Structure 1
Amino acid sequence: MSELKHIISLRIENSIRNAVQATASRFYVRESDIYRFAINYMLKRFKCLHEDDFSGSDLLPLMLDIREELIGSLSLKKHQLFNILNGNNVHPDKFVAMSDIELLLTPQHLVKQRLQKIDDSPQSDVDTETWLKQYLLEKYQSPSLQDSSDTQTQSSN
């Protein structure tokens, strides 16, 4: 049995459409196939947002991975991200502080300055994103953040 399909309208910049068309051409598929692929890919990555068990610090690895998109594409505000992370009756052990939510939404060039003010163990030998992940890992002691940090360390070696 096939699901009912809907036609949607979407506004995108010319540069994005050109990139989609070039990708479709390279894959020998229709432009609409690339849009469907992109939506399905994104929904799979965000699957944890549909599970009530995932809340608070459980969602930090995802938010760290999409940090630039949160700032640029989605233009999320701190209260919106607070509700995404802490809105589902989060367990007190998983609660993410507003100051750390603000840190997630802070532009790259300002994160280092903020971390220097709040982190007791300054890290001058690592890049800012790694320092941010380490800071949040230490503060929230999240195993999934540890896995993410280990994977990044291994891939950079």
Structure 2
Amino acid sequence: MDSRKQAVSIRMSAADIRSVKRLAERLGVRDSDVIRFAVKVMLGRLAPLHDLGVRGKSLVPVFVESGTDIFRHFELDALRLDSIINQGADPDARVDSDDIQLIAMSGIQQSYAKLRLSSISQNYSQQAKSATAAATDKAGRAGKPGEEDELGNSLRKYLYEKYVYRNNNGGLRSPVELE
């Protein structure tokens, strides 16, 4: 494996470049240090995605924890997400298509995801309905930013209990078990 560093050219907006420069100045580092940091953080957050052996429910935490950023930046929809998560996965490791749609919707359409979560999850229907009622105004728009966090927490709880914690008496599964 080649361990030499290589120069890479990237296109960035003028606003992003100004932000990188301000951040570097404030931290007392070079612009390139800020960019390398950002790349390393992103690679860490998305690490399971670059391991082609990780498939199915083991990828759920990546998309739940990445929030809306990954969906908006890469313009992911439910069909593409299903392909990324389930392609080549064993039948018992596959993620249900309703849950794939819920993950994709939560990354793009917060208010619709609230309604979908409440209809999918019988175990959490009361909690999700409360969250939906509290976070939606009379016109059906999402409420305050804190209420969107409530949706994220409800979704995270539902998906983790269904795909990550299941079959382990409520304990977190080890990374080996997740693969």
TM class by smaller structure:
0.7 to 0.9
**Count of aligned pairs:** 145
Partner of residue 104, structure 2: 105
1:61-140 mapped onto 2 (5 Å cutoff): 61-87=61-87, 89-106=88-105, 107-121=109-123, 122=125, 123=127, 124=130, 127-140=150-163
Distance 1:73 1:50, change over 3 A: closer
The answer on whether the counterparts of 2:98 and 2:120 sit within 8 Å (CA) in structure 1 is no
Query: Aligned residues: percent identity?
Result: 29
- In 1: Cα distance, 2:18 partner to 2:65 partner: 25
2:25 paired with 1:6: no
Shift of 1:147: 4.3
1:5-84 mapped onto 2 (5 Å cutoff): 5-12=6-13, 14=15, 16-84=16-84
Shift of 1:57: 0.8
- In 2: Cα distance, 1:42 partner to 1:136 partner: 22
Unaligned regions of 5+ residues in structure 2, if any?
A: 132-146, 174-179
- TM score, norm. by length of structure 1: 0.78
Greater displacement, 21-30 / 121-130: 121-130
The answer on whether the counterparts of 1:112 and 1:128 sit within 8 Å (CA) in structure 2 is yes
Partner of residue 165, structure 2: 143
- In 2: Cα distance, 1:13 partner to 1:73 partner: 18
Distance 1:75 1:13, change over 3 A: farther
Deviations 1:86-133, CA, capped at 9 Å, x for gaps: 12x212121012221121121222221111222213212692112112
For the aligned residue pairs, the C-alpha RMSD in angstroms reads: 2.6
Greater displacement, 2-11 / 52-61: 2-11
Unaligned regions of 5+ residues in structure 1, if any?
A: 149-157
The residue type equivalent to 1:108 in the other structure is Q
Runs of 4+ in 1 over 6 A off after TM superposition: none
Distance 1:49 1:71, change over 3 A: closer
Partner SS for 1:116: helix
Partner SS for 2:17: helix
